[in-house]
Structure 1
Amino acid sequence: MEYAMAQEQKNKGASRLTKDEEDDLKQFLLHDMDRNGTVTAQEIIDFMEARGQQLSDEEKKERRDWVKLIDTNEDGAVSVEEFIAMMERSRMMDSTLELFKFFDKDGSGFLTKEEIRQAMKELGSEQSDGELDVMMKEYDTDGDGKINYEEFAKSLG
C-alpha cells in the first residue's frame, strides 16, 4: 500500500522533473527493498552489497550521512517526496549559481552596483541610481559594498 502511494507521489512529482531526474528517481526506488515508499541507509547499503560492491565503513557512513541530510522529517528514511525536493533544491542551486555568474561580469565572486546595472540592462530593465542604491543596501547584508553569492541567493528567496 505504501509503495503504491510512493508511486503516486513519484508520478505527481515526475511532471516537474527532467529526464535525468526521472532516471535518478527510478534508481532511488530500486533501493526501496521493502517497497514501503521510503529508503533507509541500510537499504542502500544492502542493495549495493547485493550487487557485489564491498563498502568500507567510511562509505557506509557516507550513505548514512546522506540519508540524514535528505530526511527532512527525521524518520530515518528518505521518502519519494523528500528525494524529489532534494533534486529540486539542487536544480535551483545550479540555476542560482548560473544567474549569479551572469551578473558577475568580471568573475570576482562579488556583484558591484555597476555589474548589476549592466546585467539588468541586458535583461531589458534599466535601473536608476536610486533603485540600485536601494538594492545594494537591502542585499549587501555585510555592508562591504558588494553582494556575494550567499547574499545574492538569499535575495532570491
Structure 2
Amino acid sequence: MDKQLDPTLTREDYKRKFEECDKDKDGKLTVAELKTYLSQLLSTDVSDFAVKSVFDTLDKSKDGLISIDEWLDALDKKPLKNIGQEDLTETFKQIDKNGDGKITKDEIKEVMKCKNSPVTDEELDAMMLVYDKDNNGSIDIEEFVNGFYNDL
C-alpha cells in the first residue's frame, strides 16, 4: 500500500476516508480513531507519539477532535507523508521548553501531561530507544523528524 495519500483523490474521496475513520459516526475524529486509521493505512502500528503529532496538526480548533472541515483543509493541501513538516519543527520547539535544541524525557513527559495524554516512564524509555539514535539521552530536531517519518 502506498504510504501517502494519492494526490489524485477528490474532496469526495477524502470525505469517504473521513467517514471510514469515524468509527462512532459522530462527525468528529478522536486520537484513537485516527490511530486506527493510520495504522491500517500504513500497515503498521503507528506510535501514540506520532499519532498525537499528526492529530495536533489537523486539530486546528484545538478542541481535541478533528472535524470534517479540518480534515479536508489539511488533506486537500498536502499528502499525509508531508503533513506537518513545518508543524513538526514547531512541535519540537514547543516541547523543547528550555530552547537548547534537545528534547529530554522530562520535557516530553510534561508536554504530554499538559495535553492530557500522560505517558509512563516505560513508554518514555521506549520512545527514547526509537528516537534517540545517538543514545545521548536527548532527541535533537533531526532525530525527532526522522523518528516521526520512520513511524510512517
- Shorter-chain TM-score tier: 0.3 to 0.5
Larger-gyration structure (1/2): 1
- TM-score, length-scaled by structure 2: 0.44
Q: Which has the higher helix share?
A: 1
